[in-house]
């Protein structure tokens, strides 16, 4: 690990602080929602439909009379969960494909990269959309689709990194000593890729959230009555003139999460590039 | 080069001549003599015999006509037939065909066209495999011309309830290209269809009802959804927009639009698959019926514009509807809980509700239901599927636990209740009660109107007693019509009748 | 070292293999969609024999490899068949919708260039100044707003501030070209926003990097003005990578337009795609997906070639 914590540049700290604050808001909402929400997020109440923000309902209510604050809180759960699980899948697929591609080179490399390129040929959202539409909209399918769409990005990072690392003396040494390639890749190369994978992971979380919310907006993600930011926004569109609070709060939370991640990845990038010099 | 110029010259002279000639024969047309109707379903089928979707039927209602035709009050009137004689045992229908009617292609309507069309609908023409295209006409055994202008339809068995199906469109003999170039006798001729955008109909100058239609052109414009249509209304690019909710209708400028509302004769149902546990238990189905609050559902989904239902028929069906069933299932949580306890489910259960994602009203109903059913411990998990999958797995395959859908029908009580027979293809709730089967079997042979009404009431009563599913509402059809038009009528069916619509005379 | 021709053929073979793999992916995905096409077309009331008949008419009863071959040949000869749902040729359907999607992408691309370039150049002149920092922060924020959320916010803004921009009415380019551009402005802007941020950030850093390069320092000591250095040295060199970035942006814009047109109710490819999915319209669905992928593949191919022409060093990698 590069020393990201010592000698942090003021620019990097600014990014970290801003990022952690924004991300913290969403994560805090998520953690609190696990134990408590002001109202049950799915509880409808025909008597209090479309109530503007008030003391009783700080973020107002929607067309079912559901409390928007409670729904925003519980929506953060899906956003965090889907992006994390999706990145985990992409990360696993990406390293499993990328490290051997970089290590062996030649035919293996060409084959794997061809497959990766073919996936990257689709505008990402298109592939994810079609995949989810084909296999039916559900949280699990969204996670798999996103994992698949983002795997080539991680594979590229791993491949390039591996190509550099394998030229290092101790790897060639291990090779000559007769250490099995699988062992070299798992215990010698992979740990060295972590600094490169870290920013890619953070940015992957953000990008995945962009996609996930877009799919939810089209109705292909989290299913009602569960709340997700994208679905809340698409439902809110009908009431854009009469109940703008239905748009504003989910949009803010969504942007906070993505922006928080971007800032952290910027911070990482700055400190890594400073550390490299 | 030269040849092309000459061609253009000739063509333009010709075009000029045509337009001058046309100008001589016609009154100067009012450039505004048209109407644009917003629709939210993509049109698909223009063949009067294979049409399934209600959204297609409402368009081709203006193109094709049958021997009989419904009016906006639900009455069945003679149309291409002037009269019908039904034999004593209701097994032979003899129609007298109207004279002086022309098809859109200029040919005259002859009895032979009627024979061809009815046989085609019943699957009896050569080259057909005997399966009726119009399912209800499957019982037609033969169609023949008897005397000059009479067509005799023989049925396999008595059926006094069939007249409403002779509304199916009549097309020219031998014609088989209705899908791409519809030809009928209706007030409007098919002009063009641009997928995703519009269907354009133009005036039939030779329409047999003199003086109709008033408009020169009608455009059915495809809008992505209700809100897109609403925006177009506000922009003035649509004149007529049906199926609004009342909260949307309230946003419109009342000086520019008249808001018409009417029962839709639809039955929105929370369908319970009677063949799966625990829904096969009468007490569970009753408990669900008592647990929900229909008024709240209507408030949330239709902003209050709907009629509560406790039985399988809409009150729009007049005397066939049994008013004594009203209020059977008023919300009663205590009763619902004790029924659940009796059935051994005091702790409730988990169940899925498969809804078609394209219908917001049904998805919203499911959301409200899920919230209400929590009170008796039922955890309703909503699974949205697209329309294709819904048809496949729920309606045809019957692989589901519960669903929410609206059942549409023609204005015929038999059509509404036909699906509750054990063997019916439309019995997607897997309901089975031998008493209902027996009563339904007696109806087609019954001639006496009072007896028929009583039979229908008995069937409705049993369906409600059995709590075969949860009937929710007859959603009100709310239509916005531009104040520059008049004469638009809301039908208690899925129909847009444009023949009576005209510009408001200043 | 590879020759130019060798590099080109290598890239071409890669292109063809990629396309084949893409087509195989598309076909397999659609062959396993649940839902019987013929049943969907005929509706629930149709009989089993009618469904079988239609299945045979559509060629759905043929073995998979035969169907794949026929389908691929149809796509490559730009004759992808007839849509099940609309009963029209797929190319005609796509042709009708293309003006929306391509128009929106083109306008968005123009916006990206005319906004991000000047801003990046200004910002990079004095990095770290207040103006530069404000631009950077705004850039980060814009980058984090999904295009459809930006659309919603723009609609909210447009409808409350000025009712000039009408939302939801599409004008055909053949009817009124200015009206057509007008109705696409707002959605294009929504798609362009995050890409403006992306392009700005990228250009800014590459200009700064280039300017610190030795040869620019030398020119500076020779007394050339900032602007001249920028035009003569910095921009051409940063162009190499901006070709790559532009092709990424274009593909993102294309994907973004699929969702944004839903928000603005525009009859573009995205809506056609969603309706094709829900109606199990395989020829239409596969046509749209394949051609969109084709456009992207060609875009990357062209950008690869273009950057190798602009900078011969790339070929060495």
Ordered by where they begin, the domains of chain A are 10-35+60-275 (1.10.3720.10)
Segment B113-132 mean pLDDT: 81
B 29-88 residues inside an 8 A Cβ radius of A: none
CB-CB neighbors (< 8 A) of C34 in chain A: 136
CATH 3.10.105.10 domain position(s) in chain B = 267-475
CB-CB neighbors (< 8 A) of A65 in chain B: 300
- At residue C316 the predicted structure's pLDDT band, cuts being 50, 70 and 90, is very low
What local confidence, expressed as pLDDT, does residue B236 receive? 77
Q: Kindly report the nearest CA distance between residue B45 and chain C, in angstroms.
A: 9
CB-CB neighbors (< 8 A) of C297 in chain A: 121
* Minimum CA–CA partner of B296 in chain A: A46
CA distances from B441 to A235, B140, B352, B410, B418 (A): 46, 17, 34, 19, 10
CB-CB neighbors (< 8 A) of C255 in chain A: 123-126
Residue in A44, A136, A219 nearest the CB of B368: A44
Neighbours of C167 (CB within 10 A): 22
How do residues B12-22 score in pLDDT, each as one tens digit?
A: 444 444 444 44
Tokens describing residue B4: 């092309």
Is a pLDDT exceeding 80 seen at residue A246? yes
How do residues C159-191 score in pLDDT, each as one tens digit?
A: 666 554 455 567 777 777 887 888 888 889 999
Question: What is the spatial distance between Cα B202 and Cα B86, in angstroms, rounded to a whole number?
Answer: 36
CB-CB neighbors (< 8 A) of B226 in chain A: 238
C-beta of residue B380 within 8 angstroms of C-beta of residue B369: yes
Is a pLDDT exceeding 70 seen at residue B349? yes
Q: Under an 8 Å CB criterion, which residues of C touch B? A: 34-36, 39-40, 42-45, 47, 49-50, 53, 83, 85-88, 93, 96-97, 166-169, 262, 265, 267, 271-272, 275, 277-280
Is a pLDDT exceeding 60 seen at residue B2? no
Q: Which residues on adjacent β-strands are paired with residue B355?
A: B384
In the predicted model, what is the mean pLDDT of chain C?
77
Is a pLDDT exceeding 80 seen at residue C224? no
Is a pLDDT exceeding 60 seen at residue B506? no
Question: What is the spatial distance between Cα B65 and Cα B57, in angstroms, rounded to a whole number?
Answer: 12
Q: Cα–Cα–Cα angle for C104, C110, C112, nearest 5°?
A: 100
How do residues A151-178 score in pLDDT, each as one tens digit?
A: 998 998 899 888 888 888 777 888 788 8
- At residue C42 the predicted structure's pLDDT band, cuts being 50, 70 and 90, is low
C-beta of residue C296 within 8 angstroms of C-beta of residue A123: yes
Question: What is the spatial distance between Cα C150 and Cα B483, in angstroms, rounded to a whole number?
Answer: 36
Proportion of chain B above pLDDT 90, given as a percent? 19
Which residue in the block uniquely carries the two structure tokens 């400073």? A274
Q: Do the Cβ atoms of C149 and A213 come within 8 Å?
A: yes
- At residue C220 the predicted structure's pLDDT band, cuts being 50, 70 and 90, is low
C 283-302 residues inside an 8 A Cβ radius of A: 285, 289, 292-293, 296-297, 300
Domain residue limits, chain C: 97-279
CA distances from B490 to B240, B242, B247, C61 (A): 11, 9, 19, 45
C-beta of residue B401 within 8 angstroms of C-beta of residue B408: no
CB-CB neighbors (< 8 A) of C252 in chain A: 123-124
Q: Is A223 on the interface with B (CB under 8 A)?
A: yes
| Most A CBs within 10 Å, among C18, C160, C272, C303, to test the A interface | C18
The class (CATH top level) of B188-262+478-503 is alpha beta
Is a pLDDT exceeding 60 seen at residue A6? no
Highest mean pLDDT: which range of B232-236, B272-276, B420-424, C53-57 = B272-276
Neighbours of C102 (CB within 10 A): 15
Alpha-carbon dihedral sign for residues B490, B493, B496, B499: negative
DSSP C222: T
C-beta of residue B252 within 8 angstroms of C-beta of residue B259: yes
Question: What is the spatial distance between Cα B118 and Cα B133, in angstroms, rounded to a whole number?
Answer: 10
Is a pLDDT exceeding 90 seen at residue C225? no
Q: Do the Cβ atoms of A242 and B226 come within 8 Å?
A: no
Protein fold of B64-167 = Dipeptide-binding Protein; domain 1 (3.90.76)
How do residues C104-145 score in pLDDT, each as one tens digit?
A: 988 998 998 899 888 888 887 777 778 888 888 888 888 888
Of B54, B46, B485, nearest in space to B266 by CA: B54
Residues in chain C: 317
Q: Which residues on adjacent β-strands are paired with residue C82?
A: C89
- At residue C41 the predicted structure's pLDDT band, cuts being 50, 70 and 90, is low
Protein fold of B267-475 = Dipeptide-binding Protein; domain 3 (3.10.105)
Which residue in the block uniquely carries the two structure tokens 């929590």? B374
Which is more confidently placed, B9 or A257? A257
Q: Which CATH architecture has domain C97-279?
A: Orthogonal Bundle (1.10)
Is a pLDDT exceeding 90 seen at residue A252? yes
Please report which residue ranges of C162-234 form alpha helices under DSSP H.
177-211, 214-221, 226-229
CATH 3.40.190.10 domain position(s) in chain B = 188-262+478-503
How do residues B284-340 score in pLDDT, each as one tens digit?
A: 999 999 999 999 999 888 888 888 988 888 887 878 888 888 888 889 999 999 999
DSSP string, A119-166: HHTS-HHHHHHHHHHHH-S-HHHHHHHHHHHHHHHHHHHHHHHHHHHT
Question: What is the spatial distance between Cα A273 and Cα A86, in angstroms, rounded to a whole number?
Answer: 27
What local confidence, expressed as pLDDT, does residue B22 receive? 42
Q: Do the Cβ atoms of B391 and C45 come within 8 Å?
A: no
**Beta-strand relationship, B349-356 and B378-385:** parallel
In angstroms, how far is CA B243 from the centroid of its own chain?
13
Proportion of chain C above pLDDT 70, given as a percent? 76
What local confidence, expressed as pLDDT, does residue B272 receive? 93
What local confidence, expressed as pLDDT, does residue B503 receive? 83
Segment C292-300 mean pLDDT: 81
Strands of the sheet with B81-86, listed across from one edge: B81-86, B92-97, B150-155, B140-145
Tokens describing residue C290: 């394949």
Segment A196-205 mean pLDDT: 90
CATH 3.90.76.10 domain position(s) in chain B = 64-167
Segment B352-381 mean pLDDT: 90
Pick the range with the lowest mean pLDDT from A31-40, A63-72, C6-15: C6-15
Backbone angles phi, psi at C61, to 5 degrees: -90, -5
């Amino acid at each position: 690990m590069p020393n990201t914590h010592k000698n942090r540049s003021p620019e990097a700290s600014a990014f970290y602080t801003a990022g952690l604050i924004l991300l913290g808001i969403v994560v805090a909402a998520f953690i609190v929602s696990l134990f408590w929400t002001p109202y049950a997020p799915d509880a409808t109440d025909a008597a209090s439909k479309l109530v503007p923000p008030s003391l009783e309902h700080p973020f107002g209510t929607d067309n079912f009379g559901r409390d928007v604050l409670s729904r925003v809180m519980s929506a953060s759960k899906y956003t965090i969960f889907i992006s994390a699980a999706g990145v985990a899948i992409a990360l696993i697929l990406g390293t499993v494909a990328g490290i051997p591609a970089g290590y062996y080179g030649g035919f293996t490399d060409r084959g794997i990269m061809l497959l990766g390129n073919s996936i990257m040929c689709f505008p990402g959202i298109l592939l994810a959309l079609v995949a989810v539409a084909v296999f039916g909209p559900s949280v699990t399918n969204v996670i798999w689709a996103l994992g698949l769409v983002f795997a080539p990005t991680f594979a590229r990072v791993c491949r390039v990194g591996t190509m550099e690392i394998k030229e290092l003396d101790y790897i060639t040494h291990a090779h000559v000593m007769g250490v099995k390639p699988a062992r070299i890749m798992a215990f010698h190369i992979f740990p060295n890729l972590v600094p490169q994978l870290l920013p890619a992971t953070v940015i992957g979380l953000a990008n995945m959230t962009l996609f996930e919310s877009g799919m939810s907006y089209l109705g292909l993600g989290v299913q009602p009555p569960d709340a997700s930011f994208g679905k809340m926004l698409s439902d809110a569109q009908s009431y854009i003139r009469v109940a703008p609070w239905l748009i504003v709060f989910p949009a803010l939370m969504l942007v906070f999460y993505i922006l928080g991640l971007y800032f952290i990845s910027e911070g990482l990038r700055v400190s890594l590039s400073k550390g490299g010099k | 080069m030269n040849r092309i110029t000459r061609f253009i010259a000739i063509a333009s002279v010709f075009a000029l001549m045509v337009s001058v000639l046309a100008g001589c024969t016609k009154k100067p047309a009012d450039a505004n003599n048209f109407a644009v109707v917003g629709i939210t379903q993509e049109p698909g089928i223009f063949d009067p015999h294979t049409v399934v979707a209600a959204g297609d039927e409402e368009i081709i209602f203006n193109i094709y006509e049958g021997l009989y035709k419904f009016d906006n009050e639900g009455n069945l009137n003679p149309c291409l037939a002037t009269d019908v004689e039904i034999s004593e045992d209701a097994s032979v229908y003899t129609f007298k065909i109207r004279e002086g009617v022309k098809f859109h292609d200029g040919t005259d309507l002859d009895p032979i066209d009627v024979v061809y069309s009815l046989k085609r609908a019943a699957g009896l023409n050569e080259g057909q495999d005997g399966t009726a295209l119009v399912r209800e006409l499957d019982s037609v055994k033969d169609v023949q011309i008897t005397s000059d202008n009479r067509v005799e339809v023989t049925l396999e068995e008595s059926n006094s309830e069939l007249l409403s199906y002779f509304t199916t469109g009549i097309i020219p003999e031998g014609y088989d290209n209705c899908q791409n170039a519809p030809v009928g006798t209706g007030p409007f001729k098919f002009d063009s269809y641009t997928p995703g955008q519009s269907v354009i109909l133009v005036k039939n100058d030779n329409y047999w009802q003199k003086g109709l239609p008033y408009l020169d052109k009608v455009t059915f414009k495809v809008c992505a959804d209700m809100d897109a249509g609403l925006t177009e209304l506000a922009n003035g690019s649509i004149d007529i927009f049906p199926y609004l909710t009342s909260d949307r209708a309230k946003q419109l400028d009342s000086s520019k639009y008249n808001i018409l509302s009417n029962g839709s004769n639809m039955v929105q149902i929370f369908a319970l698959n009677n063949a799966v546990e625990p829904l096969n238990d009468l007490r569970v189905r009753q408990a669900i019926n008592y647990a929900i609050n229909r008024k709240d559902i209507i408030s949330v989904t239709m902003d209050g514009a709907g009629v509560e239902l406790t039985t399988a028929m809409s009150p729009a069906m007049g005397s066939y509807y049994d008013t004594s069933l009203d209020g059977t299932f008023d919300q009663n949580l205590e009763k619902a809980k004790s029924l659940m306890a009796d059935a051994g489910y005091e702790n409730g259960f988990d169940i899925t509700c498969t809804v078609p994602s394209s219908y917001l009203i049904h998805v919203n109903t499911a959301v409200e239901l899920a919230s209400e059913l929590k009170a008796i411990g039922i955890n309703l998990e909503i699974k949205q599927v697209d329309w294709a999958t819904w048809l496949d797995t729920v309606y045809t395959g019957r692989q589901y636990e519960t669903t929410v859908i609206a059942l549409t029908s023609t204005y015929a009580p038999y059509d509404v209740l036909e699906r509750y027979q054990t063997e019916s293809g439309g019995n997607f709730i897997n309901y089975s009660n031998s008493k209902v089967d027996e009563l339904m079997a007696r109806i087609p042979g019954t001639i006496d109107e009072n007896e028929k009404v009583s039979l229908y009431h008995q069937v409705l009563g049993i369906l409600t007693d059995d709590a075969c599913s949860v009937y929710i509402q007859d959603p009100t059809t709310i239509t916005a019509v531009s104040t520059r038009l008049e004469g638009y009528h809301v039908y208690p069916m899925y129909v847009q009748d444009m023949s009576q619509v005209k510009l408001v005379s200043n | 070292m590879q020759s130019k021709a060798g590099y080109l053929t290598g890239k071409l073979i890669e292109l063809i293999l990629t396309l084949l793999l893409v087509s195989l992916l598309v076909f397999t995905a659609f062959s396993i969609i649940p839902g019987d096409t013929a049943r969907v077309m005929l509706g629930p009331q149709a009989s089993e024999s009618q469904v079988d008949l239609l299945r045979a008419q559509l060629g759905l009863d043929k073995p998979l490899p035969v169907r794949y071959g026929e389908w691929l040949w149809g796509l490559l000869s730009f004759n992808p068949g007839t849509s099940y749902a609309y009963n029209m040729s797929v190319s005609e359907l796509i042709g009708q919708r293309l003006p929306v999607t391509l128009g929106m992408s083109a306008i968005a691309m123009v916006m990206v260039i005319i906004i991000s370039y000047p801003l990046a150049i200004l910002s990079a002149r004095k990095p770290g100044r207040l103006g530069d920092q404000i631009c950077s922060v705004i850039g980060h924020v814009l980058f984090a707003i999904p295009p459809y959320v930006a659309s919603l916010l723009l609609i909210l803004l447009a409808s409350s501030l000025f009712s000039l921009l009408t939302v939801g009415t599409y004008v055909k380019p053949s009817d009124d070209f200015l009206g057509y551009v007008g109705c696409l402005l707002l959605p294009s802007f929504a798609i362009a926003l995050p890409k403006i941020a992306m392009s700005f950030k990228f250009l800014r850093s590459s200009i700064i990097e280039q300017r610190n390069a030795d040869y620019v320092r030398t020119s500076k000591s020779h007394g050339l003005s900032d602007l001249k250095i920028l035009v003569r040295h910095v921009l051409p060199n940063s162009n190499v990578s901006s070709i790559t970035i532009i092709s990424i942006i274009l593909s993102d814009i294309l994907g973004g337009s699929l969702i944004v047109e839903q928000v603005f109710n525009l009859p573009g490819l995205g809506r056609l795609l969603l309706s094709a999915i829900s109606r199990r319209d395989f020829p239409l669905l596969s046509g749209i997906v394949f051609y969109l992928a084709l456009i992207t593949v060609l875009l990357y191919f062209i950008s690869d070639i273009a950057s190798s022409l602009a900078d011969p060093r790339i070929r060495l990698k």
